[in-house]
Structure 1
């Protein structure tokens, strides 16, 4: 049986929601971060080459990386609407957002996170210099790319209710972590009514609520 090794406040929430949406049979093993350092425990790091979440075990298989796990799980559900097949009208849209979640959105958010961490942990006066430099990086690189992505999301969600098209797909599931992280930072406070409705649809879904109950945290994302 597949086991989800679920780390609190991490991307493994995606897999938890996926399994609940599929009605899959699985085991859930939850790990807590160190309350002092927020680092993952050693027994969790031993599962994954990078010590990152999510990780699943399935027999002798140990698999990391969100989208790899999603594809592995959906291979057991070939008729699932969560992965529109070739020829389906929503397939191009699904594929784009399924890969943009990791390849574009989270990579840009990762840059922004690193900049913030370096600024906050570097002593003055070097920290002040870094803040000025990183401000230009945000202005010229980070913010324009995030703005373009968020604008495209708003346009696409004006046409169809989900990132994957007319119905929920794995694109929505893999986007849930970076989208909730962006919302917590205030990215969608003004001028994103279609995106706001997407959040409402997601949070109203029985499978999402079931995953939140099993996650049992005040947030699905890690706050830096």
Structure 2
């Protein structure tokens, strides 16, 4: 049986949601972050090969990295609907957004989080100097790239309600964390109505609601 080692306010929520979508038997062990550093506890780092979330154990094997875990789980259940077949009309679209989630959007959201943390932690006088520099970096790099990604999202969601095409796929589940992060950080506004509608659509899915109940948190994203 798959055991999900679930760290609060982390990317492992997506694995919890995936398992609920599949309606398979799984084990769940929860871990809280350090209240000061927000880092994972030592017992969690001892399980994870990288010391980061998410991680699952399956037999004597520990697997980390969200996309790798998703592929591993779907390989166990190949008849499920969450990965379009090779050669199908939705396959290329699914693959683009599946990889854009971790390869493009997550690094941008991580960068924004680092900018925010730096501004909060530097002494007041330095903050006056650093704040405009970080704001310029955010506007010229992070926001500029996010605009292009969100514009493409609007184009694709105008033709089908899911990022992977006509049906929910792993791409949608993988995108949930970075796009919720983008929404909370003010990137996804009324200028992107189809992306906002998609966020509401995933949150209304019964499996997502069950995962939220198991998680016990109001958001999958760590408040900064």
Whole-Å separation in 2 of the counterparts to 1:85 and 1:102: 21
Comparing 74-83 with 168-177, greater Cα deviation is found at 74-83
Alignment-derived partner of residue 93 in structure 1: 93
The alpha carbon displacement at 1:161 in A equals 0.3
After superposition, where does 1:1-224 map in structure 2 within 5 Å?
Answer: 1-224=1-224
The alpha carbon displacement at 1:38 in A equals 2.1
- Report how many residues are paired: 224
Q: Counterpart of 1:4 in 2: which secondary structure?
A: strand
Moved over 4 A (4+): none
Deviations along 1:134-163, one digit per CA (max 9) or x if unpaired, are 222112211100111111111111110000
Q: Counterpart of 2:158 in 1: which secondary structure?
A: helix
Whole-Å separation in 2 of the counterparts to 1:208 and 1:125: 44
Q: How does the TM-score come out when normalised to structure 1?
A: 0.96
CA RMSD, 1 decimal: 1.2
Whole-Å separation in 2 of the counterparts to 1:57 and 1:145: 35
Q: How does the TM-score come out when normalised to structure 2?
A: 0.96
Whole-Å separation in 1 of the counterparts to 2:124 and 2:141: 25
Whole-Å separation in 1 of the counterparts to 2:206 and 2:111: 34
Whole-Å separation in 2 of the counterparts to 1:108 and 1:21: 28
Deviations along 1:161-202, one digit per CA (max 9) or x if unpaired, are 000100000000001111111122232232222112212221
